[in-house]
Amino acid sequence: TLAPKGGVGWPAVWRRDFVPVTGLVVAIDRELAGMEFVQVAAEGLIFAHTPQLNLTLWQEGALEAAAAALTAVSPTTAIALPGHDDGTGATFHVYVGDGSGRDAKFCVSTVTPTTITTYDLEPQQPDTITIQRGTDSHAFMGIELAKLDDDNTVFYTLEPDQPRTWSFFRRTLFQPVRYRYRLHTVPTDPNGNTLPLVLGEWVESEEINLMV
C-alpha cells in the first residue's frame, strides 16, 4: 500500500501482476514492486524558523508526482513513486515551502538521498528596506538599524523627500523580514530653538517601506 497523497486520507493499494517464483523465499525489491523512492531529509536547525516543510515533487513536463511534509519530529521521508522502475536514476524537482508563500527549488534523484540544510535555504538576494522621513519639525533626524540577532548597527541621516535604503540577509527563506530600529532626533521648541538630542527606544518592524 501507498501512503495517501499529502498525508491525508486512506492508503492506496498499488496492484501489480502475478509473477512466477521458485523456492520458499520471495525477495521484493524496487523492480518487482514497480516503484522508485526519493529520499529527502531536513537538517534539524531548519525547524527553528519554521515548524514544517512541505515538499512537492514533479518532473519537467509532468504533473505533480507526490507530496510530503517534514517536521522536527519527523525530519526524513522516502517518497514512493509508483511506475518509476527503470533504474536510470530519474531526476525530479522539489519545491520546499512552509505555507507562507516562500519556497525554494531543488533537484533530487532516486539514486542519491538528499539532505536539505540551512545553507540551502539561505536567500540568494538581500531584502531591501526603504526608509523615508515624514513631515516633522525636527532640526535633525537619523535612524539606526540592525538585524534582530545582530549587535552591529548602521546609521543614516534622514532628510525630507530623500529616501534611504538598507539591505540585509535573513538566515533562511522562511525567516520573516524583521529588523529593529531607533530614531535619533533633535527637536525644536515653539520658537525654533534646538533642544538636546533625543535617543528613541528600539522598535521591531517588518515594514519594507518604513515611514518615520
Give the pairing of strands 179-186 and 140-147: antiparallel
5-116 and 127-211: identical CATH topology: yes
pLDDT at residue 189 in the model: 92
pLDDT at residue 32 in the model: 73
Q: Please say if the pLDDT value at position 211 is more than 90.
A: yes
The CATH architecture assigned to 5-116 reads Sandwich (2.60)
Distance from C-alpha of 157 to C-alpha of 142, rounded to nearest angstrom? 4
Taking residues 111-136, report their average pLDDT: 87
Coil, helix or strand at residue 30: helix
Question: Over pLDDT 90: what percentage of the chain?
Answer: 35
CATH code of the domain occupying 127-211: 2.60.40
**Residue 108 CA from chain centroid, whole number:** 18
CB-CB contact of 60 with 45 (8 Å) = no
DSSP string, 101-141: S-EEEEEEESSS-EEE-TTTTS-SS-EEEEEE--S---SEE
Taking residues 104-121, report their average pLDDT: 77
pLDDT at residue 208 in the model: 95
Q: pLDDT tens, 41-93?
A: 888 888 887 888 888 777 666 655 677 888 899 999 887 777 665 555 556 66
Q: Where are the domains of the chain?
A: 5-116, 127-211
